[in-house]
Amino acid sequence: MATAEDWLAWEAIRHQVALAQYSNGVVYRIIKLLNTSDTRLLSELEMALQGAGSLERIERLESLLYAVRATNTAAFEQVGRELAQELQALVQYEAAYQAQVLTAASPVGTHIATVNVHQVYAAAYAQPFRITKDGAAPVAQLLNGVSEDRIKLIRQAISLGMVEGEPIAKMVQRIRGTRATNYADGLMDNTRRHVETLLRTSVNHMANVAQQSSLEANEDIMAGWEFTATLDGRTTLTCASLNGKRFPVGKGPIPPRHFNCRSYAKPVLKTYREMGIDLPEVVVKGGTRASKDGQVAADLTFSDWLRGQPQDVQKQILGATRAKLFRANQIDVDRFTNNKGVVLSLDQLRKKDSEIFKRAGL
Ligand SMILES: [Zn+2]
């Protein structure tokens, strides 16, 4: 048994972990797509270079790269379309999920308003991330930037190779990387890492916009939201310093604050008294106290939180073996706060979340 506030804190952290696992699936699917098209791109590059003499290559570099550029653009367009579909489904799910969370945490009979998913998605997709070095840009524009950067890298690598008089295979290898390192030493890996960052951050961005829209639609029962950083060895100073601060709904430093940001917003309900209800505070079934005194400390770390959870919750988040190691203090929590080994589809995320609502008696 827990108060609504405890339960909201507990549920927000649990859902955030599940969302990171969902991100792993998005990354997996989209990188796979990119890899398939990269195989084609590299063989096109190889063919273009082989078809030209060494002097001709230097003179005609731009036209030799024509097919490569077209394949690259098409690959990123496909990535953009797939991502848009993923994010649209995510926003739809998140909006429904947030309505369930508010229903679980508010007094019985409270009307919980839902949002127009298409409007929320369109606004979120067009909304700039406030996180780039050069300012802010929407996700499609950021993706475009990665695509253009990659063509520049390829052109530079080929120019350099030609100046050095390298064999074609060597030039292509610099771009592709070597099998021995699982292609981590190729220029293309650079792009893959940028795309991965962009995917993870856009999932976080979309989930946050969907959440804030749901909170705004239910402003009558909301006191605001609380910035919650995933406190571990990888937390940025910005996020650590914002941790625990409260802001009005729809305002303030809504996460993500930077690329790969794992911070999230915890909804804060008005008290019953503030809602004008003369009842003791709601108690949510199935919630777990987040700390010993029942209050969630502002500096509660993910590790602290996880340690206070029952074994089945630890197991759900970490998997059985890792949960055992964690309890035995044999692995560091940093190793799995963004656990890339666990992959959730949107359906699995939905199922995981619905178990929680069942536990809460909904
Ligand atoms: Zn952050």
pLDDT in tens, 102-142: 998 888 888 999 999 999 999 888 887 766 555 677 888 88
| CA nearest to 261, candidates 227, 237, 233, 235 | 235
Q: Separation of 292 CA from ligand 1 center, angstroms? A: 27
Q: Separation of 269 CA from ligand 1 center, angstroms? A: 24
Is residue 304 over pLDDT 90?
no
Q: Separation of 258 CA from ligand 1 center, angstroms? A: 6
Q: Separation of 131 CA from ligand 1 center, angstroms? A: 10
Task: Show the beta-strand stretches assigned E in the chain.
Answer: 2-3, 129-132, 135-137, 222-228, 246-247, 264-269, 283-284
pLDDT in tens, 133-190: 556 778 888 899 999 999 999 999 998 998 888 999 999 999 999 999 888 999 999 9
Q: Distance (Å, rounded) from C-alpha 26 to C-alpha 29?
A: 5
Which residues have C-beta under 5 Å from ligand 1, the single-atom ion?
236, 239, 257, 261, 263
For residue 285 the two structure tokens come to 């079934």
The residue type at 244: G
For residue 238 the two structure tokens come to 């910005």
Q: Separation of 282 CA from ligand 1 center, angstroms? A: 31
Q: Separation of 304 CA from ligand 1 center, angstroms? A: 19
Q: Tell me which DSSP letter residue 52 carries.
A: S
Q: Separation of 240 CA from ligand 1 center, angstroms? A: 8
